[in-house]
Amino acid sequence: PATADLISRLATGRADDLLTTVALATPAPILIAPAMNQQMWRDKACAENIEKLDQLGFKRVGPADGEQACGDIGPGRMEQPQAIAARAAAFFDSGLLQGKRVLISAGPTREALDPVRYISNHSSGKMGYALAQAAVDAGAKTTLVSGPVALETPAHVSRIDVQSATEMLAQCLELSADSDIFIACAAVADYRPADIQSRKIKKGPENISLEMVRNPDIVATVAAAASRPFTVGFAAETNDVVAYAREKMQRKGLDMIVSNDVSNTGIGVNSDENEVTIIWPGGEQVLPQSAKANIARQIIARISAQIEIDPDKKREK
């Protein structure tokens, strides 16, 4: 952790121990993760030291805000290890997708009932956003079509916000025509209300019925296009995960699918970690539980490997 003392010594160019000596001697980028009491973080001297490090080109992750070991509440907590690892990984561009155009859908969709209510799901969008970061790190020009989420857009990613499945389909169809890779990671609602009420639905009878109609299948629609990108789907299942996912890949004509078991509450939806199986025609790869940023990088690496095997990025139907 970058304590107030360490930050002060780095800011003044001290080299009186191994860590500060290495920091002074290396030409490599340096990332710090501040960790200290909230009042120390707010102190003017500490703020000046942080500003000096920013000017010297140091990179920073955190600090986080919350309850501290001393009982205080405020900024100064060290950021979570997953966030630090993800930020550090951004220093290492793999170049695996250099020059490629990647389109990713992420997050949930919202299907309106009336002006104030909607049907949605618990998707946080974290996996899709991790994939967008990993694609950028691999050198790809990356576009994110996102449902409503509480996440910051990764640096160098173009983001288009949508609400409904119909809006997401329209954007994905338009953008996929000029994309080399499409990763359908969004948790799209399977159904939507047949009619959207123009006024708020009032409380009335004890029971009401709601007519639903099926939403378009975005990944299958993109995969069925005459000239389409390398298309990757996601399959969130609760049983027979790999078997269902492989059948889905074949039925929808996908090049690859990523399956995960959403019955495991420790991974997947709203979690910072995931455990998946990547499936493609003739093979599969299990990725053990890890931070979603790590899982995303491995998925991007597998996509790159499959494209190398079959470099013709556009699949003529």
Residues known to be catalytic? 70
127 three-state secondary structure: helix
b/e code 163-195 from CB counts within 10 Å (16+ = b): bbbebbbebbeebbeebbbbbbbbbbbeebbee
User: Which are the contacts of 148, defined by CB distance < 8 A and separation ≥ 6?
Assistant: 107, 108, 110, 120, 161, 163
Extract the tokens encoding 91: 């220093």
* Beta carbons of 89 and 141 less than 8 angstroms apart: no
Contact 261, 286 (CB under 8 A): no
Provide the 8-state DSSP code for 34.
Answer: B
Distances (CA, A) of 208 to 166, 189, 204, 205: 25, 21, 8, 7
Place of tokens 């920013």: 54
**Torsion sign, CA atoms 230, 236, 237, 242:** positive
CB distance 157 to 132 below 8 Å: yes
What is the Cα gyration radius of the chain?
A: 23
Tokens 């990763």 label which residue?
183
Contact 107, 146 (CB under 8 A): yes
Tokens 């996908």 found at: 254
Would you say 212 and 191 are in contact if contact means Cβ atoms under 8 Å apart? yes
Contact status, residue 91 vs residue 69, Cβ threshold 8 Å: no
